[in-house]
Amino acid sequence: MTFTFISAGESHGSQLTVIVTGMPAGVTLDRERMNRDLARRQHGYGRGGRMKIESDEIEIVGGVRGGETIGSPVAIAIRNRDFENWRGAMDPWDVDAAEAQKRRVHAPRPGHVDLAGGMKYDRRDLRDVLERASARETASRVAAGAVAKELLRNFGIEIRSGVVSVGSAGDPDHVPSWDALGAVDDDSPLRAVRKSDEESMVRAVDAAREAGETLGGTIVVAAHGVPVGLGSYVQWNEKLDGRIAQAVLSVHAVKAVSIGDGVAAARRVGSEVHDAIYFDEERRYHRETNRAGGLEGGVTNGEDVVVRAYMKPISTLRRGLPSVDTETREPHRSQWERSDVTAVPACGVVCEAMLAIVLAAAMREKFGGDSLGEMKRNFGEYVGQLRQF
Ligand code: EPS
């Protein structure tokens, strides 16, 4: 079974439900470590009132016994504490008409899927669209990613991220080392890679809040310990760079993705872009630079996989934006109740999860096995083969 996940649940519904398929049996899960990822996603300067209500926690409801996977789908529930405040408008069976009217959304936000979603699914109350389109869904991704990370760590694969820019503060092109990503402080306001950028980032968020604005930014996500040979060059949809890009671009508000030096490489000559190949007995084949971001021809080359995600400003602005009332078709500013000013630090944690999910899928495809032991034996044989090359 392919390693992947599916999720369900509305932002103000009772819970998020996540089902992860393709986990081998015999993987020990660390509850605290997994919950820590959920907490990391909730953190960050510029989050709104909702994060004061929620305190996300993984509740495993299938596929795990005594802390170990048993080969069946791993099912997870994450409760939405805010549901208690929304039950009248969001209950699956008994919606209170007055409550539903109070929560009705009829002035779509430019930049959000409110309008296109309402037209597509023929939902006149745009709340039916925004509830599922909400970035609340990213808690599901982080839960699935936490499962993927538990698998990957058995093969020495680790994932880190950090923020390199928020609005115009920081440097979106900054290339952090693996160690620099390790030094990112999850408790710092914006999870900045360069501590010297943090202050200007905080000021940018304050200024945006003051102006009723929102901000985006740039995140670097990297994976270390990835073996040579994940993904393939033989078919378009097997190229791992494309699969990573799809996964990261699917994260809310991410509008661009690049790998390695990405966009900057398009402006340079070839000799300044490609990573020279070296060999010595200890390090075997290796590079002194990693501008390719660990991927050549859609295949991992053993260097760190380095991905950059560019997040646009959140589309819910306190000051609103020009829009149309879909009930009267008259001009109407987009609606606002509460929202985050920025969620760039959280987005980094979500992108880690997406990278983990794609890498776990690629590892499962290459090494198979129904149990972790079988998968590890297959992996060990392959590592032996690489040593002969
Ligand atoms: C979101 C709007 C805000 C965010 C939410 C995403 O929620 P609310 O509408 O309840 O104020 O807080 O993010 C989360 C709930 C979360 O867990 O990240 C949106 O419209 O996308």
Q: Which two tokens stand for residue 372?
A: 């972790």
* Domain ranges within the chain, ordered by starting residue: 4-387
* Ligand 1 binding pocket mutation candidate from 134, 254, 351 (most atoms within 8 A of CB): 134
Which CATH code for domain 4-387? 3.60.150.10
User: Is 337's pLDDT higher than 90?
Assistant: no
pLDDT one-digit tens code per residue, 3-48: 999 999 999 999 999 999 999 999 999 999 999 999 999 999 999 8
Residues in contact with 115: Cβ distance below 8 Å, sequence separation at least 6, in sequence order: 108, 126, 326
pLDDT band, very low/low/confident/very high, at 335 (cuts 50, 70, 90): confident
* pTM for the full predicted model: 0.98
Q: Is 11 in the pocket of ligand 1 (CB under 6 A)?
A: yes
Q: d(Cα 207, Cα 204) in Å, to the nearest integer?
A: 5
Q: Check residue 173 and give its pLDDT.
A: 95
CB 382 within 8 A of CB 251: no
pLDDT at 338: 87
pLDDT value of position 336: 86
The reported pLDDT for the residue numbered 376 is 98
The pLDDT, as a whole number, for residue 75 is 98
The pLDDT of residue 66: 98
139 Cβ below 6 A of ligand 1: yes
pLDDT tens profile 143-201: 999 999 999 999 999 999 999 999 999 999 999 999 999 999 999 999 999 999 999 99
Q: Which atom of ligand 1 is nearest to the CA of 316?
A: 20
Separation of alpha carbons 134 and 127, rounded Å: 10
CB-based contact 342:216 (threshold 8 Å): yes
From CA 293, how far away is CA 306, in angstroms rounded? 5
Dist. CA 316 → ligand 1 center (Å): 10
Contact 27, 151 (CB under 8 A): yes
- With a 6 Å cutoff on the Cβ, whether 326 touches ligand 1 is no
Phi, psi of 11 (to 5 degrees): -60, -40
